[in-house]
Amino acid sequence: MKKIVCIAICLYTIVSCSSGKNSNFIISDFPKELEISSEKIQISSILLNINRLIVVDSFLVISQNRRKDTLFSIFKLPDFKHFHSFGTKGNGPNEFNMSFASTFNKVYTGSSSFAIGNRMNNVQYYNIGNLKSNISVPYKKVRLPVKLNGFRAMSYIGDSLIFGAPYGGDNIDLFKFSTKNKNLEKYVEYPGDFPLIDAEQKRSVYGCYMAVKPDNSKFVRTYANIGKIEIFDIGKNELSPVVLEYKDFPSVSENLKIDRFSRKVKGGKEQKVFSWGVRASENYIFVSVYNDFFHKISGSKGPSESFIPEIHVFDWFGKPIVKYKLDSHFVFYDVDKSGKFMYTSSLSEDGVVRRYDLNKNLF
């Protein structure tokens, strides 16, 4: 029976957990591997110092939080025509004192919306229609509990729920927060594999990234130091994510040189990086996979320009679809809701966005 299943799904193997709660996919290869070329777009209408970018419906929203003014700029796709910028640094009304880039993300509400963190634990929701009318104030503000003390990753389920990985808060690996009734739940606890490692060290071990399915039914997370991807179905009463594990990536104990008696992470320069990002479309998950040693990936001033991550694509059931090899280094990236186009940027190319036509290459 196992042989039949393996043949049916081709290049990955389904392994059932003893608990019966999770479906584990062991990833060893992909059905397709494609080299794709980018269209280099120089945005000349406004000076850009790109820190992060997101695609919100037919708009590209760019964060420039290394600047003191125009922290956010919005462009109409596909021609990249600039129509609005807003946000200055400061602590006054409608000013920003940003701490966590992970809070800047799209929000699927039926209109073109996104959210931004401000002043440690605030989240502010914006509608592009309002911004287009020069109404640069959030349509909704949410204050998260101070006990969370910041965020490694965050994803928005409409503007009513927030899932995230906090810096603090009672052994919380992932939290769930209702913006309506202000209810905070411990969604996932840290595993008990390393009982002597404190909360600060656990954040290093389980550092992650998250993205939401546009219909708000699921979210996905991938890890920086662990060769694993988890797909969560929000509608299920029982927590049972689909788990994808990379066959050849070292275990967390091997990678970080820790065991049950360790008090600190000891990975050092031989520590391998699995992923530094995940994005999602209606049908697919797009994971930036590094799968190499930290000292080869990161230079003295940030990610090495000579290293180009791969993009590994899965469907929302965990099936591997394609492995993309890109033609240019990137740090930030996103895909549109349909999964037809991917946009990337690099710290070494100020004012430049690269566009990849995925529809032409595969979909």
Q: Which of 19, 24, 21 minimizes the C-alpha distance to 236?
A: 21
pTM, to two decimals? 0.91
Q: Cβ contacts of residue 349 below 8 Å, gap of 6+?
A: none
Topology given in CATH for the domain delimited by 2-361 = Neuraminidase (2.120.10)
Of 28-42, 97-111, 188-202, give the range with the top mean pLDDT. Answer: 28-42
Our measurement of the distance from residue 32's CA atom to the centroid of its chain's CA atoms, rounded to an integer in Å, reads: 23
pLDDT tens track for 40-50: 999 866 667 78
pLDDT tens track for 47-66: 677 889 999 999 999 998 66
pLDDT tens track for 264-306: 887 777 899 999 999 999 999 999 999 999 888 886 666 778 8
Encode 320-337: b = buried (16+ Cβ within 10 Å), e = exposed.
bbbbbebebbbbbbbbbb
pLDDT tens track for 123-151: 999 999 999 888 889 999 999 998 888 89
Mean pLDDT of 80-100: 85
DSSP-assigned letters across all residues of 220-258: EEEESSSSEEEEEETT-SS---EEEEETTSPPHHHHHT-
